[in-house]
Chains A and B, each alone.
Chain A
Amino acid sequence: MKGPVVIVIAVIAALVGYFAAGAINKPAEMKAAAPAAKKAEPAKASGGTLAAVKAKGVLSCGVSTGLPGFSAPDKSNKWSGLDVDVCRAVAAAVLGSADKVKFTPLTAKERFTALQSGEIDILSRNTTWTHTRDTSLGLNFAGVSYYDGQGFMVSTKLGVKSAKELSGAAVCIQAGTTTELNLADYFRFNNLKYKSVVFDTSDQSVKGFESGRCDVLTSDQSQLYALRTKLADPTKAVVLPEIISKEPLGPVVRQGDDQWFNIVKWTLNALINAEELGINAGNVASMKSSKNPSVQRVLGTASDMGKKLGLGNDWAANAIGQVGNYSEIFERNVGKGTPLNIARGVNALWSKGGIMYAPPIR
C-alpha cells in the first residue's frame, strides 16, 4: 500500500519540478529579451499596439490607485486628473473619443509589469523618468507631462524661509520612498542635521505634522500641496521654494513599437504646442480657418501630420477639442482653481519662464 503511493508521489513531484523549471526558465528568457524582441515583430508588421487599440475600440490606460490632481476618482465617480487627461487625449487622437478609455488602477509595484505584459497600452501614473527605468525595463518614456521635485512644507510659526535653515529639524517622511534617500543626500551635502519621523501613509504623515511630531513634512511638491489642504488650517503651513530632486513625470509605453511611441509622444507635444499657439478646447473649430501655418499643421488643415502617425489628420484637433490644451489640463486638475492650487512654475511654457518645451509639429 505505502510503496506505490510513494512512487506515484515521487513521479508527480518530478514531473511538476520539470515543468515548473521549464515554466520558470521561459519567462526569464522572455523577460530579458522580451519587450524589445517580442513586440518588435507586430510593430514592424502593422503597428501592433495601434491596430490592437483600434480593434478593441478602447485604450487601456494604467493610472494610480488614487493620487489627487493626477489620477483619482472624482466626486462623480469618474477618473480625473492630469495623468488621466493625457490618456484621454491619446484616446481622442487615436479613436476619436476621449471617453473610450479603460482605466486600470495600478500600485507602484505592479505598474511596469502591467505595461510589459500588454495589459495596458499606456502607463500614465506619475512615473519619474529615470535612466534605469528607461534603459533596463524595456520601456520608453514618451515625454514629460509634469516637472515635479521633492520639496518641504513647514509650519509658518517656524518662520523659516529656506530649506537651508532647517538644521536640527524633525522631518516627517513616508517609508520606502526615494524621498527618504533624497532627503539624506540633501542634508548630508549641506551639512545639516535632521531627525526623521517615518510614517507608512501620507495621511498619517499629515497627522504627525499637524500634531507637532515634526517641524517639516517632505514629499513630492505636487503632493505637498494636496497634503496641505488636509490640514485643519492650511494657512498655517507653507511650502518652501527649494526643490531637492528632479522628478519629471510622463506617460510610458512599451519599447519596440515605435509607431505607438510616436503617437503618444506627439499627442503630448500637440497639447503643449496648442497652448503655445493659442489653440484651446473652445476655439479649436474657429482656429481651423487660421492663416497661421503652424496652427494649420497642428489642426490638420494643411499638411498630413496625422497620416504620418497612422492616424486621421484631425488627431490633434480631436485631442485638443475634447480634452483641452496643456494649460487647460493643468489648470483644471492642479491649477489655481483647484484645492491643490499649484502655480505653473517650471511647468510654464519655455516662452513664459518655465521649461515646458515641445518640438515643433512640422
Chain B
Amino acid sequence: MSDFQPHPDLAPPASTVGVIGWLRVNLFSSPMNTLLTLVGLFIIYSLIVPALDWAIFSASWVGTDKNACSHDGACWVFVGQRLDFFIYGFYPKAEYWRINVVFVLLALLIIPQMIENAPYKGYLGWFFLIGFPIIAGILLLGGIFGLEPVPTDKWGGLALTLVISFVGIVAALPIGILLALGRRSEMPVIRTMCVVFIELWRGVPLISVLFMASVMLPLFLPEGTNFNKLLRALIGITMFQSAYMAEVIRGGLQAIPKGQYEAAAALGLGYWKSMGLIILPQALKLVIPGIVNTFIALFKDTTLVLIIGLFDVLQTVASAIVDPAWPEVSTEGFIFAAFVFWVFCFTMSRYSIALERKLHTGHQR
C-alpha cells in the first residue's frame, strides 16, 4: 500500500510562457504583426544606434578647447567648459559658494517634504516658505554681514531660472487662492475686482507683460526712477501666473458639494475657518494636477525673460554657442538645456503624482 503520488504538474510548453510566449502573443501573432514588428525594430535600430553613437560612443568628453572635439560625435567638452556660465551666469567666480549654499539649502529643505513621516516636516515647510527666501535673498544679493554686494544684473543661468520660478511658484499659489475665493465671493466689489484682475492678466501674453514691465513702465515713471529689472519681471510673472492659478483653484472649489459648505456653517465656523479647515483642503487636493501643471508651465515660461535682457539658463546656452572659439555646438548646447528643463519638470510631475497618492482618501471615482 503506497500513498497516492500525484504526478507533478507538467510545466506549460516553453513556447507559451516567459519571454518567448510573450513575444509570440504580442509581437508575432500573425504574419502582419510579424512584419510590423520587424519594420518597427528596424526603425528603432536605425534611429537609436546613430543617436547613441553620436551622443555617447563617438562623443568627446574630456579636454579644454575646440581641439578636443572630434567631428564624429557630440562635443560635450563645450558644455563642460561653459557649465559654470550655464549655472551661475555672470555671478563673480569668488562668490559662487553663495549660490552653492542656496542650492544645497534648497535641496535639504525639499527632500524632507518628499519623505513621509520626516521629523519636523511642518516646521521645515514653514521655514522653506518664509525663512529660506530671506536667507537666499541675503546670500545672493549680499551687501550685509560683510558679503560683497552682487547686483541682480550679474545673476544668470540656472540660478536665475530657479530664483524666478521659486518666487513665482511661492507667491502665485497664495495670491491665486485669494483671487479664487474672491471670485466666488458674495461681495460684488471684491468679486468684480477679482474678475477684472484675472481676466486682464489672462488676456495678455506673458511676453507683452514682460515687455511692458521692462520697457514701457520706465516711460510712465518720473525721470530717474529706475527700479530693479529683475523685480519688475518677478512681479509681472507672479501676477500673470496667479491669475491662472486662481482659475485652477476655482475649478476645485466648484467641485466641492454644497453639503460641505452647509456642514461647515452648521458647525458654526466662520468664513475663513470653514474655508481653511473644510473647503480648501479638499479643493486643493482635487486640483493638484492642475496646480502642478501651472508650476511646470511657469518654470518653462521663465525662458521668456530673455526678452527683457535677463540671461536664464537657455539664454546663457544660446549666447555661448555663438562663440567662435568653438565649432558648431548648437545641438549639444540645446540638448543640455532641454535636459535641465526635463529634469526639473519631470521631478515636479513625479512629486505631484506621489502627493496625489498620499492624499488619496477615496474621493476618486
Query: Are B188 and A27 in contact, with the CB atoms below 8 A?
Result: no
Q: B326 → chain A, closest Cβ, in Å? A: 8
Q: Mark A46-86, 1 if CB is under 8 A from B, else 0.
A: 00000010000000000001111100111111110000000
Query: Which of B311, B319, B324 contacts A229, CB < 8 Å?
Result: B324
Q: Mark A213-238, 1 if CB is under 8 A from B, else 0.
A: 00000000000011001111000000
Q: In A88-145, which residues have CB < 8 Å from any B CB?
A: 102-107, 110, 113-114, 116-119
- In the bound complex, residues from chain B placing their C-beta under 8 Å from that of A75 are 81-82, 323, 325
- In the bound complex, residues from chain B placing their C-beta under 8 Å from that of A73 are 85, 90, 316, 319-320
- In the bound complex, residues from chain A placing their C-beta under 8 Å from that of B90 are 73, 77-79
Query: Are B311 and A105 in contact, with the CB atoms below 8 A?
Result: yes
- In the bound complex, residues from chain A placing their C-beta under 8 Å from that of B320 are 66, 73
Query: Which of B89, B191, B218 contacts A119, CB < 8 Å?
Result: B218
**Chain A-chain B contacts (Cβ-Cβ < 8 Å), number:** 120
Q: B257 → chain A, closest Cβ, in Å? A: 23
B-contacting residues of A (Cβ < 8 Å)? 4-5, 8-9, 12, 16, 23, 26-27, 30-31, 38, 42, 52, 65-69, 72-79, 102-107, 110, 113-114, 116-119, 202-203, 206-207, 210, 225-226, 229-232, 338-340
Query: Are A65 and B89 in contact, with the CB atoms below 8 A?
Result: no
Query: Which of A23, A76, A79, A339 contacts B325, CB < 8 Å?
Result: A339
Known: A65-B309, A67-B322. A118 touches B215 (CB 8 A): no
Q: Chain B interface mostly helix, strand, loop or mixed?
A: helix
Q: Please name the 3 residue pairs, one residue from A and one from B, whose CB atoms are nearest each other, closest first.
A: A66-B319, A339-B324, A117-B218
Query: Are A5 and B192 in contact, with the CB atoms below 8 A?
Result: yes
Query: Are A118 and B328 in contact, with the CB atoms below 8 A?
Result: no
- In the bound complex, residues from chain A placing their C-beta under 8 Å from that of B324 are 68-69, 225-226, 229-230, 338-340
Complex alpha-carbon distance, A107 and B210, angstroms: 13
Query: Which of B81, B309, B323 contacts A68, CB < 8 Å?
Result: B323
- In the bound complex, residues from chain B placing their C-beta under 8 Å from that of A4 are 188
- In the bound complex, residues from chain A placing their C-beta under 8 Å from that of B241 are none
Q: What is the interface residue range for chain B against chain A?
A: 35 or more
Q: B150 → chain A, closest Cβ, in Å? A: 12
Query: Are B319 and A117 in contact, with the CB atoms below 8 A?
Result: no
Q: B185 → chain A, closest Cβ, in Å? A: 12
Complex alpha-carbon distance, A27 and B216, angstroms: 9
Q: Is B219 an interface residue (CB 8 A)?
A: yes
- In the bound complex, residues from chain A placing their C-beta under 8 Å from that of B81 are 75
Q: A155 → chain B, closest Cβ, in Å? A: 16
Q: Is B226 an interface residue (CB 8 A)?
A: yes
Q: Mark B318-358, 1 if CB is under 8 A from A, else 0.
A: 11111111011010000000000000000000000000000
Query: Which of A16, A52, A230 contacts B196, CB < 8 Å?
Result: A16
Complex alpha-carbon distance, A117 and B226, angstroms: 10
Query: Which of B151, B216, B219, B306 contacts A107, CB < 8 Å?
Result: B306
- In the bound complex, residues from chain B placing their C-beta under 8 Å from that of A77 are 84-85, 88-91, 93
Q: A87 → chain B, closest Cβ, in Å? A: 14
Complex alpha-carbon distance, A27 and B218, angstroms: 11
Complex alpha-carbon distance, A38 and B307, angstroms: 26
- In the bound complex, residues from chain B placing their C-beta under 8 Å from that of A230 are 324, 327-328
- In the bound complex, residues from chain B placing their C-beta under 8 Å from that of A340 are 324
Query: Are B220 and A118 in contact, with the CB atoms below 8 A?
Result: no
Show 14 A/B contacts (Cβ-Cβ < 8 Å), sorted by A: A26-B220, A66-B320, A67-B322, A68-B322, A77-B93, A110-B309, A113-B215, A114-B215, A206-B328, A210-B328, A226-B324, A229-B327, A230-B327, A338-B324
Query: Are A27 and B219 in contact, with the CB atoms below 8 A?
Result: yes
Query: Are B322 and A232 in contact, with the CB atoms below 8 A?
Result: no
Query: Are B308 and A31 in contact, with the CB atoms below 8 A?
Result: no
Q: A35 → chain B, closest Cβ, in Å? A: 11
Q: B342 → chain A, closest Cβ, in Å? A: 22
Q: Chain A interface mostly helix, strand, loop or mixed?
A: mixed
- In the bound complex, residues from chain B placing their C-beta under 8 Å from that of A16 are 196
- In the bound complex, residues from chain A placing their C-beta under 8 Å from that of B259 are none
Query: Are B328 and A203 in contact, with the CB atoms below 8 A?
Result: yes
Q: Is B315 an interface residue (CB 8 A)?
A: yes
Q: Is B153 an interface residue (CB 8 A)?
A: yes
Complex alpha-carbon distance, A114 and B214, angstroms: 9
Q: Mark B218-234, 1 if CB is under 8 A from A, else 0.
A: 11100110100100000
Q: Is B189 an interface residue (CB 8 A)?
A: yes
Q: Is B71 an interface residue (CB 8 A)?
A: yes
Q: In B8-50, which residues have CB < 8 Å from any A CB?
A: none
Known: A38-B223, A77-B93. A66 touches B218 (CB 8 A): no
Query: Are B220 and A202 in contact, with the CB atoms below 8 A?
Result: no
Query: Are B215 and A117 in contact, with the CB atoms below 8 A?
Result: yes
Query: Are A12 and B319 in contact, with the CB atoms below 8 A?
Result: no
Query: Are B188 and A117 in contact, with the CB atoms below 8 A?
Result: no
- In the bound complex, residues from chain A placing their C-beta under 8 Å from that of B211 are 110
Query: Are A232 and B223 in contact, with the CB atoms below 8 A?
Result: no
Query: Which of A42, A102, A203, A225 contacts B153, CB < 8 Å?
Result: A102
Q: B281 → chain A, closest Cβ, in Å? A: 30
Given pairs A110-B211, A225-B324, 8 additional interface contacts (CB within 8 A): A16-B196, A67-B322, A77-B88, A105-B311, A117-B219, A119-B229, A226-B324, A339-B325
Query: Which of A69, A72, A110, A202 contacts B307, CB < 8 Å?
Result: A110
Chain B residue at minimum C-beta to C-beta distance from A63: B309
- In the bound complex, residues from chain A placing their C-beta under 8 Å from that of B189 are 8
Complex alpha-carbon distance, A116 and B215, angstroms: 9
Query: Are A119 and B319 in contact, with the CB atoms below 8 A?
Result: no
Q: A67 → chain B, closest Cβ, in Å? A: 7
Chain B residue at minimum C-beta to C-beta distance from A69: B324
Chain A residue at minimum C-beta to C-beta distance from B65: A75
Q: A174 → chain B, closest Cβ, in Å? A: 13
Q: A112 → chain B, closest Cβ, in Å? A: 10
